[in-house]
């Protein structure tokens, strides 16, 4: 394991009967980085994380963590990790402070509970019962429980799923803050914008295998110098759509949404407007953007991340 | 250690704050205790009850001109007839027919007494008439023998005995007064024979309080333990613990300490209610009573783990607890004697740890003499604890299935 590598996974496998939840994946996570497992539901992200968190045991494979090669995640490793589960619950009749005090008691060197409360902005809710918290507050409490031991390695499993945009942004800023403090973070998400915003490196999973890996920029650059043009049309079955072939070499139609990939944006746009005038097809909701991880996944699998 | 105690505290705090748990944990047993004490604590008030009484006259040979045994028998018969205005008779008499074997009838009456079907059995012993007649002529120093069999497991038995004593005192006084020889020293002396008792009268609330405490432990274990574990598993509360260094044995230790603390709290509250609100005087301050209370709490805790290990969901666990609840509670001797049950039901009684714990606890408190040996009282619950722990350790899943 390299000097700057905190975690390495080699040929990890976990099967449930005929289902290959994780099928021989391998990756490395650099110290003080944000590493993201990106993929649709059922890709194997959570299973991979649960093996690394110590909830499940792998059928086979090697895990090197904190400079040690281990068969399974031990209690001494758990002393140094923090886990934000995708769907863990709390005792509804305990108070916020009691929950954090309880979790702090499981560790050898916990942080003061008041410090955690402040860090996750729950000081005012310290005496509130868990059952009275909002979704965003619950997620902050879960994050507080994950950080109570001041962990070196933090697992965040779908940390913003189900949160409103404001709460999602708050969570992003917490992750950025943790990274600034030198923590290593392994994140799973199916939000490509989240992966792009937070990640130092991304591993795209599908059907239990890794289909692409690299920094967000490296992955999107696999598209070359292409630019994406998107617009909507009222009637995708119109004959006029056939004429689009003359101005755009690569385009996809998904319902009423048309996505065009081009290396020559200026020419493509001129031809698109000409086609629109000629065929009298308005280009609704027209946007021009750079390729993102969604496009990478789409080009690799033919499916969207959230399908 | 801190983690274990924090788990215990969390368990106690959750149970106390949750209304449903609090109801089953405290309100329900307290309600049952008050209800039973109010209803049955006043049994025997005038005109409210008729006692089932066995009456056997063994003194069939009259030595003198007066058949004194017949006088006593007749007195009881008159009390078994409806009073003025068709008032309920004081006694319903059960006597042998002329062709009945008296000793066999006595055996059957004593069995009925043990089963709670008789309030008392009165036996006019052979030689009773002679003794009374002798008292007239000062020929005998023996007092007349009349036996009254009763049991403390039936509260009506105690009240019936008091009435019988008063009846006999009246008969005695009447006989002697008629002969002009009334002498307190020569009065008929009823000999009270207690079946399964220490010989002290037990108020009903003292009788029922240990049973209610056991019922509280039982309900707490049968419903509270699987409820807490399965709810926390289904709601994925436990998953959060398993990603920390907390191990399953430490969690179990904390959970068990919390559960036993709740049982202790339940005991204290019910005891205070019984003692200060309902006038109970039974004392639990003996090592054997403490040991049996602890054994009961641990047994039902283990039963709770067993149910949790056999259920896939919280609903399934509660259904299993409900199925076990009624037969275990009612086939335990907590509420009525067990001897008269059909064979297959008696099998359940003998397999039921609650039967042994209930009798053992009452015996340790001096309320009842147990039909079970000390080895059985300790051994059967311990066997259930061992069996439950083994099955639970194999079957209990700590995380939701994928």
pLDDT in tens, A226-252: 788 888 887 777 666 777 777 776 777
Distance CA A268, CA A256 (A): 20
Residue B192 belongs to some domain of the structure: no
Q: What is the pLDDT of residue A224?
A: 65
Q: With a cut of 90, say whether residue A26 has pLDDT above it.
A: yes
Same domain for B107 and B131, yes or no, is yes
R_g of chain A computed on alpha carbons: 23
Mutate to test the interface with B, among A18, A44, A52, A102 (most CBs of B within 10 A): A102
Nearest residue, CB atoms, B237 vs list A76, A91, A101: A91
Whether the complex's predicted ipTM is more than 0.90 is answered with: no
Same domain for B156 and B135, yes or no, is yes
Residue B284 belongs to some domain of the structure: yes
Q: What is the pLDDT of residue B335?
A: 61
Q: What is the pLDDT of residue A223?
A: 65
Q: Which of A65-69, A110-114, B40-44, B204-208 is the least confident region?
A: B40-44
User: Per the structure, how many domains does chain B have?
Assistant: 2
Residue B383 belongs to some domain of the structure: yes
The helix (H) or strand (E) run that includes residue A16 is: strand A5-16
Q: What is the pLDDT of residue B9?
A: 93
Same domain for B66 and B118, yes or no, is yes
Q: Give the pTM.
A: 0.71
Residue B320 belongs to some domain of the structure: yes
Burial of B185 (0-12, 13-18, 19+ CB in 10 A): exposed
Same domain for B362 and B317, yes or no, is yes
Same domain for B70 and B164, yes or no, is yes
Measuring CA to CA, which residue among A121, A115, A129 is closest to residue A171? A121
Same domain for B128 and B25, yes or no, is no
Contact A89 B237 (CB under 8 A): yes
Q: Which of A270-284, B164-178, B311-325, B341-355 is the least confident region?
A: B164-178
Chain B neighbors of A155, CB-CB under 8 A:
243
Question: Is residue A279 very low, low, confident or very high in pLDDT (cuts 50, 70, 90)?
Answer: confident
Distance CA B157, CA B113 (A): 9
Q: What is the pLDDT of residue B137?
A: 56
Ranked by mean pLDDT, which of A298-307, B66-75, B301-310 comes out on top? B301-310
Half-sphere exposure in the Cβ direction for B388 (13 Å, CA): 22
The helix (H) or strand (E) run that includes residue A24 is: strand A19-30
Q: What percent of chain B has pLDDT over 90?
A: 16
Same domain for B174 and B308, yes or no, is no
Distance CA A188, CA A54 (A): 16
User: Does B118 or B294 have the greater pLDDT score?
Assistant: B294
Question: Is the torsion defined by CA of A87, A93, A95, A100 positive or negative?
Answer: negative
Q: What is the pLDDT of residue A31?
A: 92
What mean pLDDT is reported for chain A? 87
Q: What is the pLDDT of residue B41?
A: 62
Domain boundary among B186, B210, B242: B186
Residue/partner pairs of B98-103 with CB below 8 Å, 24 or more apart: B102/B56, B102/B58
Residue B7 CA from chain centroid, whole number? 35
Q: What is the pLDDT of residue B198?
A: 41
φ and ψ of B400, to 5 deg:
-65, 150
Q: B354 lies in which domain range?
A: 2-41+201-395
Could you tell me which residues of chain B have a Cβ less than 8 Å from any Cβ in chain A? 2-3, 5-7, 10, 13-14, 17-18, 232, 235-237, 239-247, 399, 402
Contact (CB, 8 A) for A179 and A14: no
Distance CA B31, CA A190 (A): 54
Same domain for B255 and B380, yes or no, is yes
Measuring CA to CA, which residue among A60, A49, A48 is closest to residue A11? A60
Same domain for B248 and B390, yes or no, is yes
R_g of chain B computed on alpha carbons: 27
Label each residue of A54-75 as H, E or C.
CCCCCCEEEEEECCEEECCCCH
Distance CA A149, CA A146 (A): 7
Q: With a cut of 50, say whether residue B47 has pLDDT above it.
A: no
Distance CA B253, CA B239 (A): 17
Q: What is the pLDDT of residue B184?
A: 57
Question: Measured between alpha carbons, how far is residue B333 from residues B299, B341, B345, B360, B368 in Å?
Answer: 17, 11, 12, 11, 12
Question: Is residue B337 very low, low, confident or very high in pLDDT (cuts 50, 70, 90)?
Answer: low
Could you tell me which residues of chain A have a Cβ less than 8 Å from any Cβ in chain B? 16, 53-55, 75-76, 78-79, 81, 83, 85, 87-91, 93-94, 98, 101-103, 105-108, 129, 142, 145, 149, 155
Looking up residue B76, the CATH number of its domain turns out to be 3.40.1710
Question: Is residue B155 very low, low, confident or very high in pLDDT (cuts 50, 70, 90)?
Answer: low
User: Does B233 or B85 have the greater pLDDT score?
Assistant: B233
The angle subtended at Cα A195 by Cα A192 and Cα A198, nearest 5°, is 145
Contact B242 A91 (CB under 8 A): no
Q: What is the pLDDT of residue A10?
A: 93
Query: In B41-67, which residue ranges form alpha helices assigned H by DSSP?
Result: none
Q: What is the pLDDT of residue B284?
A: 85
Same domain for B18 and B55, yes or no, is no
């Amino acid at each position: 394991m390299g000097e700057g590598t905190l975690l390495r996974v080699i040929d990890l496998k976990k099967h449930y009967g005929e289902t290959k939840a994780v099928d021989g994946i391998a990756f490395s996570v650099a110290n003080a980085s944000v590493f993201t497992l990106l993929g649709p539901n059922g890709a194997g992200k959570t299973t991979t994380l649960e093996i690394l968190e110590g909830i499940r045991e792998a059928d086979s494979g090697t895990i090197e963590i904190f400079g040690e090669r281990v068969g399974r995640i031990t209690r001494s490793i758990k002393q140094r990790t923090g886990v934000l589960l995708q769907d863990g619950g709390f005792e509804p009749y305990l108070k916020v402070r009691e929950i954090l005090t309880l979790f702090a008691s499981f560790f050898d060197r916990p942080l003061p509970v008041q410090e955690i409360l402040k860090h996750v902005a729950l000081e005012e809710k310290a005496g509130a019962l868990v059952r009275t918290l909002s979704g965003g507050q619950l997620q902050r409490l879960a994050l507080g429980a994950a950080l109570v031991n001041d962990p070196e390695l933090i697992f965040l499993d779908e940390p913003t799923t189900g949160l409103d945009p404001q709460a999602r942004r708050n969570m992003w800023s917490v992750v950025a803050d943790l990274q600034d403090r030198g923590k290593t973070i392994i994140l799973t998400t199916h939000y490509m914008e989240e992966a792009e915003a937070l990640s130092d490196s991304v591993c795209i999973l599908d059907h239990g295998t890794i289909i692409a890996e690299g920094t967000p920029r490296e992955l999107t650059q696999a598209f070359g110098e292409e630019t994406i043009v998107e617009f909507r049309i009222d009637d995708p079955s119109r004959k006029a759509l056939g004429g689009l072939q003359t101005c755009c070499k690569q385009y996809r139609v998904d319902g009423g949404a048309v996505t065009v990939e081009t290396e020559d944006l200026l020419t493509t746009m001129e031809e698109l407007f000409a086609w629109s005038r000629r065929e009298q097809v308005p280009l609704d909701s027209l946007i021009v953007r750079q390729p993102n991880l969604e496009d990478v996944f789409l080009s690799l699998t033919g499916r969207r991340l959230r399908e | 250690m801190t983690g274990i105690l924090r788990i215990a505290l969390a368990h106690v705090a959750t149970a106390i704050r949750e209304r449903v748990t609090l109801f089953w944990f405290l309100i329900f047993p307290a309600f049952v205790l008050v209800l039973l004490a109010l209803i049955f604590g006043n049994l025997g008030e005038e005109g409210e009850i008729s006692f089932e009484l066995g009456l056997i006259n063994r003194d069939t040979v009259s030595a003198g001109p007066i058949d004194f045994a017949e006088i006593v028998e007749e007195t009881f018969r008159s009390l078994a007839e409806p009073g003025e205005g068709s008032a309920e008779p004081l006694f319903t008499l059960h006597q042998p027919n002329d062709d009945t074997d008296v000793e066999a009838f006595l055996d059957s009456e004593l069995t009925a007494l043990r089963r709670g079907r008789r309030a008392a059995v009165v036996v006019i012993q052979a030689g009773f008439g002679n003794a009374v007649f002798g008292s007239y002529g000062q020929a005998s120093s023996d007092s007349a023998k009349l036996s009254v069999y009763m049991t403390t497991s039936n509260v009506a038995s105690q009240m019936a005995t008091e009435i019988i004593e008063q009846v006999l005192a009246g008969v005695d006084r009447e006989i002697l007064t008629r002969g002009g020889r009334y002498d307190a020293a020569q009065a008929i002396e009823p000999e009270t024979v207690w079946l399964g008792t220490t010989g002290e009268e037990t108020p009903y609330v003292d009788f029922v309080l240990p049973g209610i405490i056991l019922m509280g432990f039982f309900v707490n274990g049968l419903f509270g333990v699987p409820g807490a574990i399965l709810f926390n598993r289904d709601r994925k509360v436990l998953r959060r613990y398993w990603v920390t260094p907390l191990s399953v044995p430490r969690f179990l230790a904390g959970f068990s300490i919390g559960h036993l603390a709740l049982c202790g709290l339940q005991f204290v509250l019910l005891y205070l209610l019984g003692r200060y609100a309902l006038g109970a005087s039974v004392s639990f301050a003996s090592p054997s009573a403490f040991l049996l209370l602890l054994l009961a709490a641990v047994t039902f805790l283990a039963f709770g783990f067993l149910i949790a290990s056999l259920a896939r969901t919280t609903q399934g666990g509660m259904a299993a607890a409900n199925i076990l609840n009624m037969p275990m509670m009612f086939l335990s001797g907590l509420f009525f004697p067990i001897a008269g049950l059909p064979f297959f039901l008696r099998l359940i009684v003998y397999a039921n740890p609650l039967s042994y714990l209930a009798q053992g606890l009452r015996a340790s408190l001096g309320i009842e003499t147990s039909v079970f040996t000390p080895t059985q009282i300790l051994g059967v619950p311990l066997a259930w604890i061992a069996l439950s722990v083994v099955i639970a350790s194999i079957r209990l899943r700590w995380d939701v299935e994928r």
